Chains A and B, each alone.
Chain A
Amino acid sequence: NAGVTQTPKFRILKIGQSMTLQCAQDMNHNYMYWYRQDPGMGLKLIYYSVGAGITDKGEVPNGYNVSRSTTEDFPLRLELAAPSQTSVYFCASSWGAFSYEQYFGPGTRLTVT
């Protein structure tokens, strides 16, 4: 049981490039989330999904896109990368809403120069 996995661990992008951050979980969780963490700050929710085919925006969705074609995978797409997107990105999952704890992946450190 690997839990929540993320790839890549590190990435450097040039301004205007695009990339996809991968996230997978093997716990059969319905809910999945993408957060970003800027230096010295807490995490902010980018997008979340309550099940395959269903996604919704969080606090900071601009510049990102997501899809959820399977229960296991929840990729995050960055289009036209900007320096403001330099951050550490965390994927998380939970069995359901409300009462359930969220389990986090190890993160992807992204630098846009």
Chain B
Amino acid sequence: KQEVTQIPAALSVPEGENLVLNCSFTDSAIYNLQWFRQDPGKGLTSLLLIQSSQREQTSGRLNASLDKSSGRSTLYIAASQPGDSATYLCAVNRETSGSRLTFGEGTQLTVNP
């Protein structure tokens, strides 16, 4: 059974700091991994999707990497801003079950001005 773990559960940083969020998964047989942002009381917004054949994806100040063999992904946020404060979720799309996402529990990020 696929399990997804995100560390740390919560993170508080000063504005301007570069930071890394971690995601690990137990079964390396995945099609892709997706990073989401969730604001309080809101739905999920897709940030980046990395295919299993890719090593990384970039969008603006965000960079996500994937090491499928070791079951790890990282989300790098450069020059953090207070507006980045949210919960960040990673989810893996399991190869054996098509487009069915398994989610981690998320990292709650607070960027202090």
- Hey, what's the 0/1 contact readout for B78-113 against A, CB within 8 Å counting as 1? 000000000001010100001111011110000000
Taking a contact as CB atoms under 8 Å apart, the answer to whether B100 and A45 are in contact is yes
Taking a contact as CB atoms under 8 Å apart, the answer to whether A102 and B34 are in contact is yes
With contacts A42-B4, A98-B93 taken as known, whether A58 is within 8 angstroms of B43 at the C-beta atoms is: no
Taking a contact as CB atoms under 8 Å apart, the answer to whether B105 and A90 are in contact is no
Scoring A4, A42, A44, A94 by chain B CB atoms within 10 A of each residue's CB, the highest score goes to: A42
Taking a contact as CB atoms under 8 Å apart, the answer to whether A42 and B105 are in contact is yes
Inside 8 A of B36's CB, which chain A residues have their CB?
Answer: 104
On chain B, the number of residues with a Cβ less than 8 Å from chain A's Cβ atoms is 24
Inside 8 A of A44's CB, which chain B residues have their CB?
Answer: 103
- Residues 1-55 (chain B) with a chain A CB within 8 angstroms: 4, 31-32, 34, 36, 41-46, 49, 51
Q: Which listed residue, A31, A43, A90, touches B99 by the CB 8 Å rule?
A: A31
Inside 8 A of A94's CB, which chain B residues have their CB?
Answer: 99
Taken together as a complex, chains A and B put the C-alpha atoms of A100 and B93 apart, in Å, by 10
Q: Which listed residue, B43, B98, B105, touches A98 by the CB 8 Å rule?
A: B98
- Chain B: residues with CB nearer than 8 A to chain A? 4, 31-32, 34, 36, 41-46, 49, 51, 89, 91, 93, 98-101, 103-106
- Chain A: residues with CB nearer than 8 A to chain B? 4, 31, 33, 35, 40-45, 48, 50, 58, 90, 92, 94, 96-107, 109
